[in-house]
Each structure stands twice: as C-alpha cells, then as structure tokens.
Structure 1
C-alpha cells in the first residue's frame, strides 16, 4: 500500500521592480519583444508566491512540513532578498538573467530546494498579476 501524500501550501507576497530586456538588442527590438516591460526606468509588480510541499505526514507530528518553518524559510531566503528590490540591480542571479516570471520562479525554487527535505516534492507558483502566473517545476 502506498502512503498517503498530502500537499501543503504557504502563500506570501512581495513587491519588486524589474526590466525585461536583452542587452544585446537595440531598444526597438526590446520594445517589440517585451513591450512596456522593457521600460528603461523599470516597472513593478505585486507578486503573490505560493510554495507547495508534498509528502507523507510524519507519524509523530502529523506534519508534512512545519508551516512555521516553511514561513521562516520563505521570509529569510526569498522575501528578504526580493521584497521592495529592483531585481535587475539588487538580486545577483538577475545580473545575467532576464527577470521574467519564469526565471524568478526558477531562482526561488533553487533557493528553497536545498533547505527542504529531499523526500518532499517542492513546487513554486508565482503570480506576476492576478491573471498571469507560472509554476516551477511544471
């Protein structure tokens, strides 16, 4: 018999600015591909982050993961680094990577993954707007 897996979620919020552009392109091409998002003066989003951890509840605690631990982890490793920041300028990974929602989700996942027991599955869902969001891994 397979053990019962349960998904638990932690939802957080952060605000950040970014600019989508390819430095190898002229402004015209950046504008054509990225539209208003390539504004040289940046633009911001109110991001909603949902971190999903899947596993079998511990027989002693009943937890898949202690949600206080998960909250603290997200605060320390994500919110402290991303909230009210210019992602292009203040987050090292985006010095050489375009800070699209897709890439932000991958960076968040890679930041959190080493801190969560490998027996648990991890997924990051990032809402850039109410209607646009990404999940990693898919």
Structure 2
C-alpha cells in the first residue's frame, strides 16, 4: 500500500458565533473571530489517499481525476465564499479548522475511485492546521 497526498488551496472568510450566547460571551470565547462581518484566510488543503500502485500506470489514483474531484467537491464550493453564509454545512456548525476538515472528508468520502481516503489536513494558517482521519 502507498499513501499519496494532493494539495489544493482556497480562500474563504468565516466567523465564530453561538446564537444562544450573549455578544459578551461570544466575544470572551472567540475574541476577534466573533466579528460578525468575518475575516478571511488562504487555506491549504492536503488530502491523503491510500491504495495499491497500478502496475501499468505506476499510480495509486488517476492524479487528474483526484484534482478534478477536489476542485468540484471543495474548491469550487469554498473558494471566495463566506463559509457561515454561503456553504450549507456551516449554517449548523462553526467553520473552525477542525470542522472544515470533517466537512471536506464528508464531501470526499466514497468519491475517489481505487483508493481509500486516509486523511484530510486543513491549514488555516502556516502554523495552524487540523487533521481528520474519519470516525473509524
């Protein structure tokens, strides 16, 4: 088995807010990130898959197809969007790095032919990222 990782990038804005909390509680918990106008990041996504190397092509997966899946399922949906307002899954959960990684996993799971999804890593900043490896 071989693991292969593909990167993609997208830019998006978000904020953190709990409706049942007062503005003061949100400010205390989330600081600047509680600004309802949001703030943006240039995210880097790394998707790791695992499978057997095809003896003819030498690939674990068709790299062009993997790139197209990431573009269709993630980049075209998240890029230049306000996650809280424009991406359905973040209407019910905070768009934290952790939750973005989980949401991307759910978008990709079962869609990459010939390989198993192993890990989704989302960099919010160069020194901050979240890894999600599924529930199992």
- TM-score, reference length from structure 1: 0.91
- How far residue 18 of structure 1 moved from its aligned partner, in angstroms, is 0.4
Q: Is the Cα contact below 8 Å between 1:17 and 1:87 reproduced in 2?
A: yes
Deviating above 4 A after TM superposition, structure 1's stretches of 4 or more consecutive aligned residues are none
Instruction: Check the 8 A contact 1:19/1:37 in 2, yes or no.
Output: yes
Which residue is 2:66 aligned to? 70
Once residues 117 and 75 of structure 2 are traced to their aligned partners in structure 1, the CA distance between those partners, rounded to angstroms, is: 21
CA RMSD of aligned residues (A): 1.4
CA contact 1:113–1:122 (8 Å) conserved in 2: no
Matched, 1:108 2:87: no
Could you state the TM-score of these two structures normalised by the residue count of structure 2? 0.93
One of 109, 128, 135 as aligned partner of 1:132? 128
Shift in alpha-carbon separation, 1:119–1:130, aligned structure 2, 3 A: closer
Size of the aligned set, in residue pairs, is: 134
Rounded Cα–Cα distance in structure 2 between residues aligned with 1:115 and 1:130: 28
Segments of structure 2 that go 5 or more residues without pairing to the other structure are none
For each residue in 1:42-99, what CA deviation from the matched residue of structure 2 results, as whole angstroms up to 9, or x when unmatched?
1111101011111111223221111111100000110010000000000001111111
Structure 1 gaps of 5+ residues are none
